[in-house]
């Protein structure tokens, strides 16, 4: 596994110099996770951040009554758990593989040593700020948009403007990712199917009509 090449493909690490990427690649540890395996749990001591190479990872928080709120479905090329580097000592969410997955693990202590380099530190802080802005926008969307808007936005963010989508994510995972119940999500899909705006057979989702992006 060529860690430097994988870091090149990760949007999170864009802007870091070639020298910094090589240094980062040397501390990456390959990890495989089976479907439904936990990577870490909410409240555990934070020891690593991760770059997803293959598969899908669900990040969720658990309420006092046991209900889970999905924060994000991580896609290949995305990083997660960066918050434990500076802001938190414990993981604020639980991460679970929803498909078989391959990851690169970067130990917190090793990355902190790299951050002693001023250039690397400045690059990395800039990336964390971009991630923070994304999460703030995500919270705004979840609170202001209806279920249909969140569904189509999720499709654009994770699959682009494709009209033919092959997805390993179940409908239950889709519902959790856009902050709704499986029952509400099923009603939405039935309505969109009846309106001939989409068809969903097995893992194949075909879109016939998408509303314009709203902000």
Judged against a pLDDT cut of 50, whether residue 104 lies above it is answered with yes
What pTM was computed for the model? 0.66
Kindly report the backbone phi and psi dihedral angles of residue 166, in degrees, each rounded to the nearest multiple of 5, phi listed first.
-105, 120
64: helix, coil or strand? coil
Judged against a pLDDT cut of 60, whether residue 55 lies above it is answered with yes
% of the chain at pLDDT higher than 90 = 32
Judged against a pLDDT cut of 80, whether residue 183 lies above it is answered with yes
* Residue 116: per-residue pLDDT: 87
The model's confidence at residue 106, banded by pLDDT at 50, 70 and 90, is: very high
* Residue 14: per-residue pLDDT: 74
| CA distance linking residue 188 with residue 76, whole number of Å | 27
Nearest to 126, CA basis, from 4, 9, 7, 16? 16
* Average pLDDT for 119-136: 72
Q: Average pLDDT over the chain, rounded to whole? A: 83
């Amino acid at each position: 596994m060529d860690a430097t090449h994988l870091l090149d493909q990760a949007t999170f690490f864009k802007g870091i110099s070639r020298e910094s990427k090589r240094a980062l690649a040397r501390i990456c540890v390959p990890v495989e996770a089976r479907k439904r395996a936990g990577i870490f749990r909410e409240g555990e001591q934070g020891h690593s951040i991760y770059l997803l190479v293959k598969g899908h990872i669900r990040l969720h928080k658990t309420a006092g009554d046991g209900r889970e709120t999905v924060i994000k479905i991580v896609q290949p090329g995305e990083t997660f758990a960066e918050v434990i580097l500076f802001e938190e000592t414990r993981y604020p969410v639980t991460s679970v593989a929803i498909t078989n997955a391959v990851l690169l693990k970067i130990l917190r202590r090793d990355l902190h040593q790299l951050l002693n380099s001023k250039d690397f530190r400045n690059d990395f802080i800039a990336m964390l700020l971009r991630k923070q802005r994304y999460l703030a926008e995500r919270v705004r969307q979840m609170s202001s948009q209806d279920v249909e808007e969140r569904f189509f936005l999720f499709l654009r963010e994770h699959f682009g403007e494709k009209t033919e989508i092959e997805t390993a994510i179940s409908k239950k995972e889709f519902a959790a990712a856009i902050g709704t119940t499986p029952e509400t999500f099923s009603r939405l899909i039935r309505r969109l199917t009846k309106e001939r705006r989409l068809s969903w057979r097995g893992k194949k989702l075909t879109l016939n009509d998408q509303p314009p992006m709203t902000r």
